[in-house]
Amino acid sequence: MATSAARPGTVPPKDLESFQAHLNKSTRILALLGAGLSASSGLPTFRGAGGLWRTHDAVQLATPEAFGRDPGLVWQFYNYRRHMALQAKPNPAHYALADLARKKDGFLTLSQNVDGLSPRASHPEDKLKLLHGSLYDVKCSDFFCNYFEKNNYTDPIVPALAIPTDDSDPTTTEAIKARELDISDENIALPEIDYNHLPKCPTCKRGLLRPGVVWFGEMLPKDVLSDIDEWLTESDKIDLIMVIGTSAKVYPAAGYVDLARAKGARVAVINMDKKDQPASGMYKRDWFFEGDAATIVPELLKSVVGEITEMPDAAGTA
């Protein structure tokens, strides 16, 4: 098939044809997802240039020690992220991957994202492994309590964490819908929230609830890793691994690319940055699709999932 120049953000026809021919016959497929998948949904990321939230290094807020020192500040950071993610919508790539999971029994998605967009796109739960947890899971921080709640979309999770609004002009009819202030801006005053107004565990009554994400210094969830290992050992063959919106240079993510390759997988990278290649580099039969995942992924998967038309949002019914 002759190759013609692709429009910006679309896939060159020859590459599209070869990828879809391989996808159509593939029975065991992995997808590894990173923050770039959700970029088109308008979500801010805090791992990259700057990496600041207000004047705080966002990475330094994502630790058990930070929560122990100042749970109010940490909860304000995570409540902001929950709020922003709920304002965002899953994009066509989330829905295309969810459809692929329903169409291909041997498809497993490993997500490093905590934004809840894949679950909200109704990605089958048994085919989606959240390596770093979710902003919408909450658990008790008390060592002796096992309280855990999935998919808590309450926003704010407690009244004290409500995003402050600009009530400077009470004469307008819009005062009821006062403009939310951007508390990621260090020039916006951030209220101090004491222990008594933070979310408490309903079971033990002692511990504070905390976001159900994996903080730096914590182990990845054992049950998730166990499920992935079980899937990996079910067969000596993997046909394809799609690396979407992540550089896959950090372990264990990088290790899954290597494991898939060792079982014969071809690698397809979908990323905005041509330099974001897996730690093991690109091989001759790999594909690199440069551009917006929200546009490229549905195009790549169209031969299996068809056109993405309906995009219901599970959070709307939560």
In the block, residue with structure tokens 């408490």: 200
Domain 12-43+90-132+220-310 -> CATH class: alpha beta
Residues with active-site annotation: 132
Over residues 117-132, the pLDDT tens digits come to 999 999 999 999 999 9
Q: Which CATH number fits domain 44-87+134-213: 3.20.20.70, 3.30.70.60, 3.30.465.10, 3.30.1600.10?
A: 3.30.1600.10
Residue 110 phi/psi, 5-degree rounding, is: -110, 115
Query: Does residue 2 carry a pLDDT above 50?
Result: no
The pLDDT of residue 312? 81
Write down the domain spans for the chain: 12-43+90-132+220-310, 44-87+134-213
The pLDDT of residue 287? 97
Mean local confidence (pLDDT), 110-118 = 96
Over residues 220-273, the pLDDT tens digits come to 999 999 999 999 999 999 999 999 999 887 778 889 999 999 999 999 999 998
Is 140 assigned to a binding site? yes
The pLDDT of residue 13? 94
The whole-angstrom separation of Cα 220 and Cα 149 is 18
Predicted TM-score (pTM) of this structure: 0.89
Is 244 assigned to a binding site? no
Over residues 193-208, the pLDDT tens digits come to 999 999 999 999 999 9
The whole-angstrom separation of Cα 81 and Cα 245 is 19
Query: Does residue 116 carry a pLDDT above 80?
Result: yes
Is 311 assigned to a binding site? no
Of the listed ranges 61-75, 159-173, 304-318, the one predicted with least confidence? 159-173
The pLDDT of residue 10? 74
| Distances from the Cα of 301 to the Cα of 10, 106, 186, 190, 223, angstroms | 13, 15, 42, 44, 29
In the block, residue with structure tokens 């790549």: 300
Query: Does residue 170 carry a pLDDT above 70?
Result: no
Q: Are 310 and 94 in contact (CB under 8 A)?
A: no
Q: Are 140 and 146 in contact (CB under 8 A)?
A: yes
Query: Does residue 5 carry a pLDDT above 50?
Result: no
The whole-angstrom separation of Cα 104 and Cα 19 is 16
Is 201 assigned to a binding site? yes
As a residue count, the chain comes to 318
The pLDDT of residue 299? 96
pLDDT over 70 percentage in the chain: 90
The pLDDT of residue 47? 56
Query: What residues contact residue 236 under an 8 Å CB cut-off, 6+ apart?
Result: 263
What's the chain's average pLDDT?
A: 89
Give rounded-to-5 percent helix, strand, coil for the chain: 35, 15, 45
The pLDDT of residue 262? 95
Q: Are 16 and 301 in contact (CB under 8 A)?
A: no
Query: Does residue 58 carry a pLDDT above 60?
Result: yes
Strand 29-33 relative to strand 107-111, pairing: parallel
